[in-house]
Chains A and B, each alone.
Chain A
Amino acid sequence: MNRQPPLPPSERLDAEERALAASLPRVPGRAEPGADLDARILAAAQAALHPQPASRRPRRSWIAPTAVAASLMLALGLAWQLRPPPAPDAPAAAASADSAGPDAGGDAMMVQAIEAPPPPASVATVPESAQMKPAPPAAETPIAAGIAGANARQAAPAEPQPAAVPPPAPPAPPAPVAPVVADSPAPAAMSAGQIAAPARAQAPMMAKSAARSGDAARERAADNDAAQAQEAAAMAADASTLDTVAVGDDPGEDVPPATADSPEVRDAWLRRIGELLKQGKHDDAKASLAEFRRRYPDASLPPELRKLEH
Chain B
Amino acid sequence: MDGLDASDEALMLAYAAGDAGAFEQLYARHRGKLYRYLLRQLRDNALADECFQDVWQRVISARAGWTNSAKSADAGFATWLYTIAHHRLGDHWRSLKHRPSAPADADERTARLADPDTPERVLSEFERRRQLQLALDDLPEEQREVLLLRLEQELTLEEIGDITGVGRETVKSRLRYAMDKLRSRLPA
Q: Which residues of A contact B (CB under 8 A)?
A: 1-4, 7-8, 11-13, 16-17, 20-21, 23-34, 37-38, 40-42, 44-46, 48-49
Contacts and interface: CB of A to CB of B under 8 A. Distances in A.
B40 A20 contact: no
B88 interface: no
Contacts of A46: 20
A33 B37 CA distance: 12
A124 B45 CA distance: 102
B56 A29 contact: no
Contact of B78 (A2, A29, A48): A2
B35 interface: yes
A23 B156 CA distance: 20
Interface stretch (B4-12, B90-98, B110-118): B4-12
A2 B30 contact: yes
Contacts of A4: 7-8, 76, 78
B152 A24 contact: yes
Contacts of A38: 27, 31
A20 B152 CA distance: 10
Contacts of B151: 13, 17, 20-21, 24
B39 to A, nearest CB: 5
Contacts of B78: 2, 4
A138 B47 CA distance: 90
15 contacts: A3-B5, A4-B8, A13-B154, A20-B132, A24-B132, A25-B129, A28-B105, A30-B39, A38-B31, A41-B60, A42-B27, A44-B57, A45-B15, A45-B24, A49-B15
Contact of B156 (A7, A16, A24): A7
B81 to A, nearest CB: 10
Contacts of B56: 41, 44-45
B139 interface: no
With a 10 A CB-CB cut-off, give which of B5, B45, B129, B179 has the most chain A CB atoms: B45
B132 A3 contact: no
A45 B60 contact: yes
Q: Which of B5, B24, B136 has the most CB of A within 10 A?
A: B24
A29 B45 CA distance: 7
A224 B44 CA distance: 102
Given A33-B49, A37-B52, A42-B27, A25 B61 contact: no
- From A27, A40, A46, name the one whose CB has the most chain B CB atoms within 10 angstroms: A27
Given A11-B156, A37-B49, A42-B23, 17 more contacts: A2-B29, A4-B7, A4-B76, A4-B78, A16-B179, A20-B151, A24-B136, A24-B151, A27-B36, A30-B39, A33-B52, A37-B52, A40-B53, A41-B60, A45-B27, A48-B60, A48-B61
Give the top 5 A-B pairs by smallest Cβ distance, nearest first. A21-B151, A25-B129, A11-B156, A25-B133, A29-B45
A172 B157 CA distance: 100
Nearest to B77: A4
Contacts of B154: 7, 12-13, 21
Nearest to A23: B132
Contacts of B5: 3
B31 A48 contact: no
Contacts of B174: none
Contact of B32 (A11, A24, A29, A32): A32
Contacts of B35: 31-33
A16 B29 CA distance: 27
Given A27-B40, A48-B61, A1 B29 contact: yes
B128 interface: yes
A2 B5 CA distance: 10
A44 to B, nearest CB: 6
Contacts of B65: none
Nearest to A33: B35
B43 interface: yes
Contacts of A48: 60-61, 63
Contacts of B132: 20, 23-25
A20 B103 CA distance: 22
A33 B28 CA distance: 11
B130 interface: yes
Interface in B131-158: 132-133, 136, 150-152, 154, 156-157
Contact of B39 (A2, A31, A40, A49): A31
